[in-house]
Amino acid sequence: MYREITDIEEKTLQVAYFLSRRKGGVSKFSIKNIHRQWCQWWGDDFCVDGRKLKIFHNEIVLSSSAVKRGEEQPEYCKYYTEVLLNAQEKIIKAYHPKMTGRENSNLFRKRLIDCRRNHGKALRKKLKKNGLSDRYYIKHNSYTRYVCKLGRYILHDNTQSKDRYCCIGTYDEMCKYIDDNLIEKK
């Protein structure tokens, strides 16, 4: 059974940041390179039932030999291919070939930090919209540090000690926790 990839926007920016530091032009943002880097950090994103998905002719496939035999690939392979194609499109669109690798990586780093700040604001807005901001508050522990790790958000309950937290996780994990555990309880 396949699952949807979470935190796609932030993961795309992290891959872009890392790949932009390499030598070469736009070709360094090939589907193969994006997939390889993505799998180094989040290998489970491109796994289905314990099997790692592969790249074959710029598409995600379950088995390249099955494609060569003409067998139809599962429907979820199209989803994963779309994720990589969208990531590649966003990266190439934001990349400036006339800038140095360091300047481009700084640009992607800034976008990543902005993305994390916007996610923090969106989580606070979600709490406020559902009338939960009086009891709960969100803290972010890594806006600017740890560029190559997913941003972590911490949900605190005002009625408990500040040393304790209700939930810690990435943006999508926090949204799911708030939807499943806090909004439904209300």
Q: Measured on CA atoms in the order 101, 96, 82, 123, is the torsion positive or negative? A: positive
pLDDT of residue 16: 96
Spatial separation of the C-alpha atoms in residues 54 and 45, rounded to whole Å: 12
Average pLDDT by stretches of 10, the chain with 186 residues: 89 95 90 96 93 94 91 94 98 94 93 92 94 89 70 87 85 93 75
pLDDT of residue 42: 94
pLDDT of residue 186: 56
Spatial separation of the C-alpha atoms in residues 89 and 100, rounded to whole Å: 20
pLDDT of residue 143: 60
Closest CA to 80 of 11, 180, 148, 154: 11
CA 41 from centroid of its chain's CA atoms: 10
Closest CA to 91 of 14, 5, 16: 16
Taking the model in full, what pTM does it have?
0.89
